Amino acid sequence: MSRRTRHGIGRRRTGFSLIETLAALFIFGIALVGLIQGIAAALGQWRQAEETTKALMLAENVMEEILYNTELAVGQDGGQYDPPDDRYSWSSTVDTAEIEGLYRITVSVTWGADERQRNVTLTTLKARRDASQWQYAPNA
């Protein structure tokens, strides 16, 4: 039997046509673009979460310094952090609270460009410790 009769006119060829291959590549390309955009969006969200967490830690540090200060005074303070955190700036306000005998302490940390500026703000209360309020009572 010759090769010609084995692969004759009546046999169907197997495999993909050019149109089928191009359609599959087109669909794969669209899916790949969507996947890349999803990854880029996730990385952007991750970066924002990382920046916010860093700002929160910096604000907590300032708040702890203020809370451990025994001589609080009403007023404002602020500044820029040193490198590598020089993108962040902070401000604090110590004010009298509505409840007598308490200070209201507010700490804000700000970062980012003008149009995309972000901030984290912490607020707490601390009891005033005036020397006249404390009495020494030795054990009898």
Spell out the domains of the chain, with CATH numbers in brackets: 15-133 (3.30.1300.30)
- Tell me what pLDDT residue 44 has: 87
Residue matched to tokens 């005036």:
130
- Tell me what pLDDT residue 113 has: 81
Q: Which residue has the higher pLDDT, 133 or 13?
A: 13
| 94: pLDDT strictly greater than 80 | yes
| 109: pLDDT strictly greater than 80 | yes
pTM, rounded to two decimals: 0.66
- Tell me what pLDDT residue 51 has: 92
Which of 56-60, 80-84, 109-113 is modeled with the greatest confidence? 56-60
| pLDDT tier for residue 139 given thresholds of 50, 70 and 90 | low
107 near 62, Cβ under 8 Å?
A: yes
| 1: pLDDT strictly greater than 60 | no
- Tell me what pLDDT residue 49 has: 93
- pLDDT digits over 22-55, tens only? 999 999 999 999 999 999 999 989 999 999 999 9
Query: For residue 99, what are the contacts with CB-CB under 8 A and spacing of at least 6?
Result: 125
